[in-house]
A and B are shown apart, each in its own frame.
Chain A
């Protein structure tokens, strides 16, 4: 206990370790926050006000009207429709301001979105509307074929569908997997897997199309994206904060290095002196490693809480799971620090190594903007194993999956991989000193 508290004190007072480990991630997070300025406005899942031309053609597309109803109901509605009877009325409303635009169906049944170009440019409002309408267009094309085959079954389930659909879309902001599940259920009630032999074109009716659209919609990336835009910060921006956490996970390994390097007998006069103190290397290193771990985790947790509550950037709200991931990541980077200490290099070189590792690996977690994000994604696709060796990327992926999926499976897998990596790094740390002993004092 004494050794632990001394180790904590030493590491906390190590200006380099605290500056890089604690200060820099906070600064980066703040920097991104400021750079994305006024993020909090787009964070509010405020519904997008639009006008909807509720004329005869519109009413002839029940799938669309149902979709619009569904996306403007529930806990977190995406649209705030104002129904008008004709285009002229819609035009007037939009011109009067306060609306993003209006939605109308033309004579051929094609859906149109007339945006108000004067305002709101750059806000996610248009994107949401477009995403919803895009998915309607895609979905209806798909549904035209699919629903036709199963029109009768679909008809049976349609009655209770709108409510279910609204709920599913409402909660979907946090988790696409949830959508998939809910959607699956919805589809299950509307879609019978038993295929009928009927000609699809004959059976295809608007009601079936609506049901099919709803089902298809859940799989549409554009919709998922739009849905996320409202419930949470735009994912493109939240990515940076995942990356900041990944980066900071690497930077905190400076604590382990600061605490452990000096204890190595072959590293310094201090290490030599300590190794004469009548304790095994393990007994000597363990309290410091524990302290380094504690400090690393506390720092990561503080980083996260800062981003989440002070900067107000939603991470999907799964605090416990996220903290669990950070707890495992802290273990991995503590082991990484221990392994770095085992390298036969002078102590002064070690902080440089940490900085190098952190900045390079953060590249593959997409810390440096869209270019680096693209590169990171390409590398991750081409060589998935490369992400397993990159704690920053693993943290990033785990947070990303938590944000996007309801299930914990993916994140749990990542945690397992991080734990395995930690063990491997500890093995390196343990084998290293045996070779180098105290000999080059």
Chain B
């Protein structure tokens, strides 16, 4: 079963309240749902790539599909785009049933495929112009759009280059530019930032945020948790073709009942300290490894303060204290029993 974030707790409260309809709970397709996928089953011979998969995405969301390799992210996107047939299920876009010949719906979508798909014979500018021309007839408008896409991906210096002369990361940026130039209202990014350097990656993430702010709906797949965490307004964690959990970043973390991870470098580690920390109400798990005390907390607003207080009360001397918010990896670990990181 898919776990959905619905019981706001602690830090999650504010975000959850801003979406009063709750998340992923609605039955039936709603008009403001841009994407509605119901009970999708996709098999490749023996492999079940999507196993009764549901997905609904609202207008303006930056929706993250997070999952390890082979979890079915690309398959889900390709099914939505009707690139694949599926044995079962229903896909609606903007409330309309999607089919291979719904060209009107397809024209409102932009795709940044996982595999780079550009024409090697055309320059950067020509490539973007070519893809844009599939959607936009007006030459002048296209020129403007191409310029914007080049700027978006920071390819100004390489405008005249053919893809062969571009580095791997630059080609991926071109791949992005080709997918977004026509200003689609729904954009599907399938791991767009693979091989892109951190600086450009940040620029791209910033750009995607801007696209969202301008009203585009974004689906973003990745197995980079940090990226998804930073960028996405809502996240689905996928595993083995199923949606394991859906919710905002905070909701997902609260859902599995984990709070921050606290590490303390003790000067003189002893078991009394451990006992004192374990006695705290929010401590789920505490351990000593060498000089370092590790405390895993349940969600709570005062976890760090409580731990520090307890240490002071026990009169322990300590050096540095680290507090790390829970990561999606912790969530994934909690939900599936496996690490998301490989």
Contacts and interface: CB of A to CB of B under 8 A. Distances in A.
A9 interface: yes
B84 A439 contact: yes
Nearest to B80: A276
A276 B121 contact: no
Given A269-B115, A441-B84, A277 B121 contact: no
A280 B119 contact: no
A273 B113 contact: yes
B121 A14 contact: yes
A9 B130 CA distance: 11
Given A438-B84, A441-B83, A277 B134 contact: yes
Interface in A1-58: 2-3, 6, 9-10, 13-14
B158 interface: no
Given A278-B106, A441-B83, A272 B113 contact: yes
Contacts of B106: 276-278
Given A269-B116, A276-B109, A280-B103, A6 B85 contact: no
Given A2-B133, A14-B121, A269-B115, A277 B107 contact: yes
Interface string A262-281: 10010011101111111110
Given A269-B116, A273-B111, A278 B103 contact: yes
Nearest to A266: B83
B119 to A, nearest CB: 6
A213 to B, nearest CB: 64
Contact of B135 (A268, A270, A277): A277
Contacts of A437: 85
Contact of A9 (B117, B126, B131, B134): B126
A440 B163 CA distance: 25
Interface in B117-138: 117-119, 121-122, 126, 130-131, 133-135, 137
Contact of A265 (B83, B113, B116, B135): B83
Most buried by A among B101, B115, B118, B135: B115
B111 A10 contact: no
Contacts of A9: 121-122, 126
B50 to A, nearest CB: 14
Contacts of A272: 78, 83, 113, 117
Contact of A279 (B103, B115, B139): B103
A297 to B, nearest CB: 21
A13 B83 contact: no
Contacts of B113: 269, 272-273
A13 B122 CA distance: 8
B81 interface: yes
Nearest to A277: B134
A270 B84 contact: no
A6 B122 CA distance: 9
Interface in B54-90: 78, 81-85
Given A6-B133, A278-B103, A439 B126 contact: no
A14 B320 CA distance: 62
Given A10-B119, A268-B117, A276 B103 contact: no
> Which of A14, A265, A272, A273 has the most C-beta atoms of chain B within 10 angstroms of its own C-beta?
A273
B103 A10 contact: no
Contact of A270 (B85, B117, B126, B179): B117
B21 interface: no
A439 B103 contact: no
B83 A6 contact: no
B27 interface: no
Nearest to A258: B121
A270 B119 contact: yes
Contact of B101 (A268, A276, A277, A280): A280
Interface string A410-441: 00000000000000000000000000011101
Contacts of B214: none
Contacts of B83: 265, 272, 275-276, 438, 441
A277 to B, nearest CB: 4
A6 B107 contact: no
Contacts of B121: 9-10, 13-14
A389 B3 CA distance: 63
Contacts of B342: none
A393 to B, nearest CB: 33
A10 B130 CA distance: 11
A143 B322 CA distance: 119
B271 interface: no
B103 A6 contact: no
B229 to A, nearest CB: 28
B122 A269 contact: no
20 contacts: A3-B133, A6-B126, A9-B121, A13-B122, A14-B121, A262-B119, A268-B117, A269-B116, A270-B119, A272-B83, A272-B113, A273-B131, A274-B134, A277-B106, A277-B107, A277-B131, A278-B104, A278-B105, A438-B78, A441-B84
Given A272-B117, A280-B101, 9 more contacts: A2-B137, A6-B126, A14-B121, A262-B119, A270-B117, A279-B134, A438-B84, A439-B85, A441-B78
Interface of B: 78, 81-85, 101, 103-107, 109, 111, 113, 115-119, 121-122, 126, 130-131, 133-135, 137, 139, 178-179
A-B CB proximity, top 5 nearest: A278-B107, A278-B106, A269-B115, A13-B121, A269-B117
